[in-house]
A and B are shown apart, each in its own frame.
Chain A
Amino acid sequence: MATTTAVLSAPRKRRQWRRTLQPYLYLLPALAVMAIITFYPLGYQVWMSFHEFSVKNIRVNNPEPAPFIGLENYVRIATSQLQIPNFEFVRLVLFNLWWALSNVVVHVILGVLIAVLLNTKGLLFRGFYRALFILPVVIPSIIVATVWRNMFTPDGGAVNYALQTVGSWFGLPATLPAFNLDWLRQPDDPIPFIPLPLAYFAMITANTWLGWPLNAVVATGALQSIPGDLYEAAEMDGASWWQKFRNITIVYLRPAMLPYAIYGFVITFNLFFLPFFMTAGEPFGRTEILVTQAYRLANDRQLYGVAAAFCVYLFFLLLIVTLITNKFAAATKSYAD
C-alpha cells in the first residue's frame, strides 16, 4: 500500500512543483533584465544621491571614490543653492504643476467640445475631419517640438507672419510690435500680475495643438456609449441644448474623461520634449520643468549626485501627485461604471 502511494505521488509532486515554478520561469527573462537595467539603477541612484558624485568619480583612469555627504545634495536643491544661474526649486515645482494642470484643462475642454461637434448627427465629411484631426498624434514629438520652435522664431517665424497677415486684414501695419514678438526669449511677462513668461504661452499653444486630438478620441468613445433615447426623452420634456449637455453628456463623459485627464496630467508633468527642444528653458530657466532640469544637471553640468537627488525628489512628487489624483478619482467614483 505504502509503496503504491509513493509511486503515484512522485509525478504528481513533480507536476505540483511545475505548476508553482512555471509562472516564475515565464517571468524570469523580463524580470532579470529589469532587475539589471531598471531596478538596480534606481537603487544606485538613491545611493548616488547621498554622495558627492561628479565626473571625476566615473573617469576612465583611477576614478576617485565618491565621498559620502548625507543629505547635503537634497538640502542644496531645496534651498536653491546650486551653482546654476536662475535656479529656484520652489518656483520650478510650482511652474511644473501649473504647466501640467493648465494643459490638461485646455486639452480636455477642447477635446470634448470637438468630439461633441464631430458627433453631431447628419454632419457632412465627418470621416474626413476625423482622419485629418489625428495628424498631430502621428508625428513624432521631437519633430513637433523642433518645428514649433522654428515657427515661433521672431525673425521669419510662421506665427509672427500669421499674426501680421491677420493684422493686415484689419489694416494694421506689419511692423506693429505685437506682430514681431520674441516668443521664446522675451524676458518681460506679457500679462501684468501673472508671473508667466511669453514662452509659456507659446509652449501651451504647441502642446494644445498636440494634445486635444487624443482627448477627442477618448471622448468620442464615451459619447457613442450614451443611449440616444436619453436625448429624445429630454427633448420631449423640453430640455434646452445646455441642459442636455450638462445633465446627459457631461455625466456620461465623466467616467471616461476623468481617468484620462489624470493620466494626461502625469504625462504632461513629465513632458520632456516641449521645454527641452522648443524653449530650452528660456527665458532665464523659467520654462524649465523638473525632468528637463534633471537632465541638464547631469548632461550639461555633470553633477551626477545632485541630479540623482533631484530625481528622488521627482519620484516623491510624482508619488504624491498620483496618490492625490487617485483619491480624487475615488471620490468621484460614484459616476463610474
Chain B
Amino acid sequence: MSTINDVRRGRDVTAYFRFGRRVGARRGEDEKPLPWGKQIVLQLILIFISFTVLFPILWIFSISVDPRGLFRPEGLNLIPPGATLAAYQKVLAQPTSNPISFIELMLNSLKIALGSSAVAVGLGVTAAYAFSRLKFRGREALMIGILGVLMLPSVATIIPLYVFLNQFRIEFGDLTFNLRASLVGVSLAVVSSQLPFAIWNLKGYLDTIPRDLEEAASVDGATQNQIFTRVVLPLATPAIAVTGFLGFLGGWTEYLTCFMFIGGTVSDWTLSIALNSMVGQYARNTPWSEFAAFAILFALPVSLVFFFFQRFLVGGLAVGGVKG
C-alpha cells in the first residue's frame, strides 16, 4: 500500500510535460548544443520509436478510409487508392447487424459514464475531505479498507453484484424491470469500482492544498460546513474535474459489466459491446474498414480531451485511474 503513497507523494510526474525546461536552470546557460554526430544518432533512434508508436494509429486510420470494404487488406499503405469516408457513414447509421445506431450506442455509454462518474465524485469528495482534514476514530482502518478495495480488480466484485442486483425486480403486468439488466444496474456496478478511486485521488489532491485558507476562515468564525463548501470545494475544482474525467473514461469504455448484465438487450448495448462484436470470432461479416472507423469514432472524443489535458490527468492515472 505504501507504493501508491510513494507515487503520489511529491514525485513530480508533470516534469515530463515541461518541455525541455529544468527547474532553476535557464535555457542557454547549461544547454550547449549536442555534437552533430550524436544529435543525428539520437534523432534516428527517436524517429524509429516514433514510428513504432504511430504504427497502430496510422494502420487503423488507413484501413478506416479504405473504399473496398475489405476483409483482408492488401499490404501497407497510408492512404489507400480512392479513400472515402463511406465506412464512417455506415457505422454511424448501423455499426453491427443489430438494429441500433451509433448515436443510440453512444447515448447508452454516455448515460453510464456521466451517471457513474457524477455519483462517484459527488460521494467521494465529502469522504475525501473527511480523510484529508478531519480526525476521527477508525480513520486508518477505513482508509486501509478503501485502499484494499482499490487494489482489487473489478472482476472480483462483479459476480456477487450480478447475483445481488438480479434480486431487484419490479413487475408491471407483463413488463418486468430487472435492476441487473438495466443501465442503472450497470452504472451501480461501475460506481462500485470507481468510488474507492475517486476518494483516494481526491484525498491525495486535498492533502497537497495548504491549510492556511481554512485556518483563516476558521478564525473568522466559519463552521466546518462553510469551510468545506466555500473554501475547500472551490480549491478542489481541478481535482474534481480530473477525477470526474477519469471516471467518465472508465464508464465510457466499460465492457465487463455491460456485456454480462445487459448483453441480451440490444437496445441497451454500449459502444464497447458493439466494438467487441465487430472484431473476433463473431465478426466474420464486418469489413475491417468499418471496425476501424468505429474504433476511431469511439476513441476520438475521450482521446482528444485526454491529450490536451494530459499533464493534469497522467498523475491520476499513475495511482489507479485504469482498473482492469
Q: Mark A97-124, 1 if CB is under 8 A from B, else 0.
A: 0000000000000000011011011111
**Interface membership of A245, Cβ < 8 A:** no
**Interface membership of B299, Cβ < 8 A:** yes
- By secondary structure, the A interface counts as helix
How far apart are the CA atoms of A123 and B12 in the complex, in Å? 21
How far apart are the CA atoms of A146 and B195 in the complex, in Å? 27
The smallest beta-carbon distance between A298 and chain B, in angstroms, is 5
B7 proximity list for chain A (CB < 8 A): 218, 259-260, 263
Q: Are A37 and B123 in contact (CB under 8 A)?
A: no
| Stretch in B82-90, B98-106, B300-308 touching the partner | B300-308
**Interface membership of A41, Cβ < 8 A:** yes
Q: Mark B199-228, 1 if CB is under 8 A from A, else 0.
A: 100000000000000000000000010001
Nearest B residue (CB) for A277: B276
How far apart are the CA atoms of A308 and B164 in the complex, in Å? 13
From 133 to 183 in chain A, residues with beta carbon under 8 angstroms from any chain B beta carbon are 133-144, 146-151, 155-156, 158, 161-162, 165
Nearest A residue (CB) for B77: A161
- By secondary structure, the B interface counts as helix
- List 27 A-B residue pairs with CB atoms under 8 Å apart, sorted by A's residue number: A29-B126, A39-B145, A41-B160, A44-B164, A45-B156, A48-B160, A120-B34, A122-B31, A129-B50, A133-B53, A137-B310, A138-B306, A147-B60, A149-B279, A158-B59, A161-B73, A216-B16, A221-B12, A228-B22, A228-B25, A256-B11, A260-B3, A263-B319, A267-B320, A272-B324, A291-B324, A326-B1
Q: Are B310 and A37 in contact (CB under 8 A)?
A: no
**Interface membership of A92, Cβ < 8 A:** no
Q: Are B295 and A146 in contact (CB under 8 A)?
A: yes
Nearest A residue (CB) for B224: A22
Interface size on B, residues (CB 8 A): 120
B135 proximity list for chain A (CB < 8 A): 23
Q: Are A27 and B126 in contact (CB under 8 A)?
A: yes
Nearest A residue (CB) for B134: A23
User: Which of A40, A118, A209 interacts with B56 by CB under 8 Å?
Assistant: A209
Q: Are B52 and A209 in contact (CB under 8 A)?
A: yes
**Interface membership of A266, Cβ < 8 A:** yes
Given A135-B57, A225-B12, A23 and B130 contact (CB-CB distance below 8 Å): yes
How far apart are the CA atoms of A195 and B33 in the complex, in Å? 49
Q: Are A307 and B127 in contact (CB under 8 A)?
A: no
Q: Are B2 and A259 in contact (CB under 8 A)?
A: yes
B117 proximity list for chain A (CB < 8 A): none
Q: Are B318 and A121 in contact (CB under 8 A)?
A: no
Nearest A residue (CB) for B319: A263
Taking beta carbons and an 8 Å cutoff, which residues of B are in contact with A?
1-4, 6-7, 11-17, 19-20, 22-23, 25, 30-34, 39, 42-43, 45-46, 49-50, 52-57, 59-60, 70-76, 119, 122-124, 126-127, 129-131, 134-136, 139, 142, 145-146, 149, 151-164, 166, 169, 176, 188-189, 191-192, 195-196, 199, 224, 228, 249, 252-253, 255-256, 259-260, 272, 275-276, 278-281, 288, 291-292, 295, 298-299, 302-303, 306-307, 310, 314, 317-320, 322, 324
Q: Are B322 and A267 in contact (CB under 8 A)?
A: yes
Q: Mark A239-275, 1 if CB is under 8 A from B, else 0.
A: 0000000000000000110011011001100111100
How far apart are the CA atoms of A223 and B23 in the complex, in Å? 12
**Interface membership of A77, Cβ < 8 A:** no
Interface size on A, residues (CB 8 A): 108
Nearest B residue (CB) for A300: B260
Given A161-B75, A326-B3, A214 and B318 contact (CB-CB distance below 8 Å): yes
**Interface membership of A20, Cβ < 8 A:** yes
A34 proximity list for chain B (CB < 8 A): 146, 149, 192, 195-196
The smallest beta-carbon distance between B75 and chain A, in angstroms, is 6
From 45 to 74 in chain A, residues with beta carbon under 8 angstroms from any chain B beta carbon are 45, 48, 53, 58, 60
Q: Are A29 and B127 in contact (CB under 8 A)?
A: yes
B146 proximity list for chain A (CB < 8 A): 34
**Interface membership of A294, Cβ < 8 A:** yes
A336 proximity list for chain B (CB < 8 A): 6
Nearest A residue (CB) for B296: A143
From 164 to 215 in chain A, residues with beta carbon under 8 angstroms from any chain B beta carbon are 165, 209, 213-214
Q: Are A218 and B13 in contact (CB under 8 A)?
A: yes
